[in-house]
Amino acid sequence: MSSASSPLRIASVNVNGVRAAFRNGMGPWLAEREVDILALQEVRAETSHLTELLGDEWDILHDAATAKGRAGVALASRRSSDRHRGAEIHRVELGAVDFDSAGRWLEADYRVGDKIVTVVSTYVHSGEVGTPKQVEKYKFLDAMQERLPQLEAHSKYALVLGDLNVGHRTLDIKNWKGNVKKAGFLPEERAYFDRFIGAEGDPDYNNGAGLGWVDVGRKWAGEVEGPYSWWSNRGQAFDNDTGWRIDYHLASPALAATVVNYTIDRAPSYDKRWSDHAPVVVDYAI
């Protein structure tokens, strides 16, 4: 368990259905990982299911999708952690009033010492070129672009976590050449991340460019392929590490400056996975 002198451990994972994830081994991972705040995406369950699976040790916020059994995001904070107090406020609205963001955006404020850390669990649409799904994805990214400066204005320690369903750079997708015309790696999608954190080649990329947010994963890993967080179930994508890095910690500059460790908890083998995504775990010395 984290102590008052240890970093705040925040993890994010697309569970691809939380009930299935727990059946397949998420429980032992969570019991061992000493996470203080947990962000979940694609929960696809009721709040009662989350409460039953996580247990009394966790305070849970959950926003379900309008369509039952789809999407769904949650934030859970460990009650026994002495690193923070539970969520003080939260909001789920994103974008115009006629835009359905249910199950895709959940914000909460956590008090850590004398600081407020604003944490967002988000699940961006996967999209599909030439269909209404792609239109909805762009609407969501537009709303997200508008909200990011507001988050940092609210708290200088802000963090957007989740499955953002976009690989920003060629380093983020193993087979990027075969995906330049597909949702998830379209130039129009990647341009949003240019605005969030800066464009590749910008001297201030990921260090104050764009809206000033920091891609913690890229900052920590450096200019290397991956490390990936999602693998297709087709073929031997996992075994060959033919993956995508689409699960992010996007941090405000002040919070990014406190990072002391970044890990993607890739399963040791295909049969040991409990989701097609791997958890992204970051320690913040705040």
Contacts of 28 (CB under 8 A, 6+ apart): none
pLDDT in tens, 94-138: 877 777 788 999 999 999 989 999 999 999 999 999 999 999 999
Mean pLDDT of the region 252-265: 98
Task: Report, as residue numbers or ranges, the catalytic residues.
Answer: 123, 163, 277
Q: Are 74 and 39 in contact (CB under 8 A)?
A: yes
Categorize the per-residue pLDDT at 235 as very low, low, confident or very high, splitting at 50, 70 and 90: confident
What letter would DSSP give residue 223? S
pLDDT in tens, 13-61: 999 999 999 999 999 999 999 999 999 999 999 999 999 999 999 999 9
The answer to whether 215 is a known ligand-binding residue is no
CATH 3.60.10.10 for domain 8-284: yes
The answer to whether 240 is a known ligand-binding residue is no
- Model-level pTM? 0.95
- The domain segmentation of the chain, as residue ranges, is 8-284
Give phi and psi for 284, each to the nearest 5.
-115, 120
The answer to whether 168 is a known ligand-binding residue is no
pLDDT beyond 80 at 80: no
Based on the number of CB atoms within 10 Å of its own CB, is 196 exposed (0-12), middle (13-18) or buried (19 or more)?
buried
Mean pLDDT of the region 277-286: 97
| 130 conformational bin, left if phi > 0, alpha if psi -120 to 50, beta if neither | left
What letter would DSSP give residue 29? H
